[in-house]
Amino acid sequence: MTNINQRLQSVKDKISEAETKFGRESGSVSLLAVSKTHPAETIIEAFSSGQRSFGENYLQHAVPKIQELRDYDIEWHFIGPLQSNKTRPVAENFTWVHSVDREKIAQRLSDQKPVEKAPINICIQVNVSDEDNKSGVDFESVEELAQAITNLQGVHLRGLMAIPEITDDIELQRANFRKLREKFEELNGKGFELDTLSMGMSDDLESAVAEGSTMVRVGTAIFGARRAK
C-alpha cells in the first residue's frame, strides 16, 4: 500500500469509529479529500485508492489540475473564498461550491452554469466563531440567503458549511459545530430540504461527526503538509 492509500484508510477508519462512538449511522459521513497545493499525480494516487470527491480552494491551481484530470470520474468541490469576478471558472469546472456567503455569488454561479450541466450544489458558509476577517455569513442572515438561493434555477442549495476557530478544546469544537447543526435543523423545520452539513477537518473531525457532520473536508491527514503555493 502507498503512503496515501494508508493515510486515506486511516482517515476512513477514524470516521467510522466516530460514527459508531457517537451513534451515527454507518456510512452517513462522507469524505471530501482536500487536495489543494498537491499535484495531479497525488490526486491520481488517492483516486486509485477509491477516493472520488476532491476539494480545492485556489482557483488558479485547481483549474489546470481539473483539466488535466478530465478523464477521471472525479467530483470537484470548490471550498475556498470566492470573489464575484471569479465565478465563471468555478461554475464551469466544479459540481459543488461550499463557500457561498452572499447572494451575488450564488446568482452568478447560477447564471454562468453551462446549460448541459446539472445545477451546482451549494453550501452556505456560516461564520460560526464570529471572528473578524473570516468569511461566512452571520447566523442571523443565513435564512434570508437560503431563501434567495432556493429561488435560483442553476444552483441547488444542499446545506451549510463552517470553518470554526482552531482550538484543542473539544468542548469548544463541539459547541461551534452544534450551532451550525442547530441552524441546519431550524431551516429544515421551516421547509428547506437541506441534506449536507460540511464541517470537520483533519484536527476536529471527531467533534464534527459527533455533532452531525455529513461531510468532512480532510487535507493534511491524507496528503501530509501542504506544499508551498
What is the binding site for ligand PLP (CB under 6 A)? 34, 36, 57, 79, 163, 201-203, 217-221
Provide the minimum distance between the beta carbon of 15 and ligand PLP in the complex, in angstroms, as a whole number. 13
- Closer residue to ligand PLP in complex, CB, 71/221: 221
Residue of 219, 197, 200 lying closest to 56 (CA atoms): 219
- Closer residue to ligand PLP in complex, CB, 65/217: 217
Provide the minimum distance between the beta carbon of 153 and ligand PLP in the complex, in angstroms, as a whole number. 27
- Closer residue to ligand PLP in complex, CB, 81/147: 81
State the burial class of residue 203 (Cβ atoms within 10 Å of its Cβ: 0-12, 13-18, 19+).
middle
Position with the least CB separation from ligand PLP: 219
Q: Which amino acid is at 142?
A: V
Provide the minimum distance between the beta carbon of 228 and ligand PLP in the complex, in angstroms, as a whole number. 14
Provide the minimum distance between the beta carbon of 71 and ligand PLP in the complex, in angstroms, as a whole number. 26
- Closer residue to ligand PLP in complex, CB, 62/201: 201
Provide the minimum distance between the beta carbon of 223 and ligand PLP in the complex, in angstroms, as a whole number. 8
The H or E element containing residue 181 is: helix 170-189
Calculated CA dihedral for residues 116, 117, 118, 124, nearest 10 degrees: -140
- Closer residue to ligand PLP in complex, CB, 91/123: 123
Q: Which residue has the cell 469509529?
A: 17
Q: Do residues 127 and 135 touch, judged by C-beta distance below 8 A?
A: yes
Q: Do residues 28 and 44 touch, judged by C-beta distance below 8 A?
A: no
What whole-number distance in Å separates Cα of residue 179 and Cα of residue 186? Answer: 11
